[in-house]
Amino acid sequence: MEHANWAIRFLIFLLCASILIRIWQARKGKKLFIRRLPGLDAIDEAIGRATELGKPILFSLGLGGLNPTTFASMSVLRYVTTTAAKYGLRVIVPIFRPEVYPVVEDLMREAYTVAGRPDLFSPDDIRFFSDQQSTWASAVAGTMERERPAANFFFGEYGFESLIIAETGRHIGAIQIAATVSYYQIPFFILACDYTLMGEELYAASAYLSDNPVLRGSLVGQDLGKILITLLIVLGSIGATFATLKGIPNWILELLKY
């Protein structure tokens, strides 16, 4: 099947419309409710701990390029950098994809300036190591051992290096908060980190902390999409049950099949 059928086109339209309407409402100034996640308190706690110890913070954006996950992580990075700058802390950012480097550099320069501490910004704290996972992981682990950050943030997409860097961070005694959409790395972050945000909670955290209308609107709009899909699955299962028991066709399945 090269193109969608009418039912799927309608579904795409509904999903897009819900997101666009919520973004429009957020831009108009309507307050869209997002429930506070328990992990957000941990972010402030981690920055507080770093302040007490007078040690830097390490904020890793993971392996992603310039994609929605990395942009969401950058929103949190902006928040962490602005808060850390107020307390005179350095934020070290290891970079995996080279195209992310200049965006992060701009973001951090702006964050330090907004916090009133442009003098604290150092391009040397933004370090591109490699775009090979094993090499990048070795370099981040080495950086942790040398710089001894008091707080580690792992936000973004991760691969097998997640346990290497999280375990190294645990070994040096840093408080660690992770948020990743890479589901297979979540168990390792749960074990090695003090708090872990799972999957879409990363986007929720980013929307909550940044107060950006596009992020907020998208998140709330997507909730409608999730409700829609949940309803579809429930109705589809009921339809499948009747189809099995009574021998009648499952009309929802017929509608969505292509």
Partner 1 sequence: MNLELFIWVEAICTLAIFSFLFRENPVYRLFEHIFLGLTIGFVLMKTWLEVLKPKWWDRLIYCIEVGDPHFWIWIIAFILGMMWYFQLSRRWYWISRIAIGISLGVGAGMEFKNQFMLIMPQITASFKPILVRNTQGMLQFSFNNFFMVFTIVAVLSYFFFSFEFKYKGMQLLPRAGRLLLMISFGAFFGNTVMTRFAVFIDRIQFLIQQWLHIGGG
Partner 2 sequence: MRLLAKLQEIPYRVVYLLVLTVIILPFVIELKLPVFVSNETLMAYNTIEQLPDTQIVIFVSSWDAGIKGELWPQTEALMRHLMQRGIKFAIMSQIAQGASFAEEIAERVAKLYNKKYGVDWCNWGFLTGDAAMIQALAKNIPKTVQKDFRGTPLTDIPMMQGIEDISDVSLIIDIDYGPRPEWISFVHGPYGTPIIFGCASIVSSTLFPYIDSGQLAGLLVGVRGATEYESLLGYRGMGHKLIIPQSLAHLLIVILVLLGNIGYLAARKLQ
Return d(Cα 164, Cα 250) in angstroms, integer. 49
- Residue 160 engages partner 2 in binding (rule: CB under 8 A): yes
Identity of the residue, 24 or 184, whose beta carbon is nearer to partner 1 in the bound complex: 184
Least Å distance, CB 86 to partner 1, is 25
Q: Quick one: tokens of 120?
A: 């604290």
Site string for partner 2, 181-220 (x = CB under 8 A): --xx------------------------------------
- Residue 134 engages partner 2 in binding (rule: CB under 8 A): yes
> Taking contact as CB under 8 A, which single stretch among the options 42-50, 84-92, 112-120, 245-253 is the one that binds partner 1?
245-253
Please give the single-letter amino acid code of residue 218: S
Interaction with partner 1 in 38-67: which residues (CB under 8 A)? Answer: 66-67
> Taking contact as CB under 8 A, which single stretch among the options 39-47, 56-64, 118-126, 179-187 is the one that binds partner 1?
179-187
> Taking contact as CB under 8 A, which single stretch among the options 27-35, 40-48, 79-87, 89-97 is the one that binds partner 1?
27-35
Interaction with partner 2 in 140-159: which residues (CB under 8 A)? Answer: 159
> Taking contact as CB under 8 A, which single stretch among the options 51-59, 80-88, 112-120, 242-250 is the one that binds partner 1?
242-250
Q: Any residues with CB less than 8 A from the CB of 6 and at least 6 apart, and which?
A: none
Task: Please choose which of partner 1, partner 2, none residue 159 contacts, taking the beta carbon within 5 to 8 angstroms, the exact cut-off set by kind.
Answer: partner 2
Please give the single-letter amino acid code of residue 229: I
Full 3-state SS string of the chain? CCCCCHHHHHHHHHHHHHHHHHHHHHHCCCCCCCCCCCHHHHHHHHHHHHHHHCCCEEEEEECCCCCHHHHHHHHHHHHHHHHHHHCCCCEEEEECCHHHHHHHHHHHHHHHHHCCCHHHCCHHHEEECCCCHHHHHHHHHHHHHHHCCCEEEEEEECCCHHHHHHHHHHHCCCEEEEEECCHHHHHHHHHHCCEEEECCHHHHHHHHHHCCHHHHHHHHHHHHHHHHHHHHHHHHHHHHHHHHHHCCCCHHHHHHCC
- Residue 225 engages partner 2 in binding (rule: CB under 8 A): no
- Residue 237 engages partner 2 in binding (rule: CB under 8 A): no
Sign of dihedral through CA atoms 41, 147, 88, 205? negative
Site string for partner 2, 80-119 (x = CB under 8 A): ----------------------------------------
| Tokens 């996950």, residue located | 69
Q: Which residues bind partner 1 (CB under 8 A)?
A: 4, 8, 12, 32-35, 66-67, 99, 101-103, 106, 129-132, 134-135, 138-139, 141-142, 145-146, 160, 163, 183-188, 190-191, 198-201, 204, 219-220, 223, 226-227, 229-230, 232-234, 236-241, 243-245, 250, 252-253, 256-258
Q: Which residues bind partner 2 (CB under 8 A)?
A: 1-2, 132-134, 159-160, 183-184
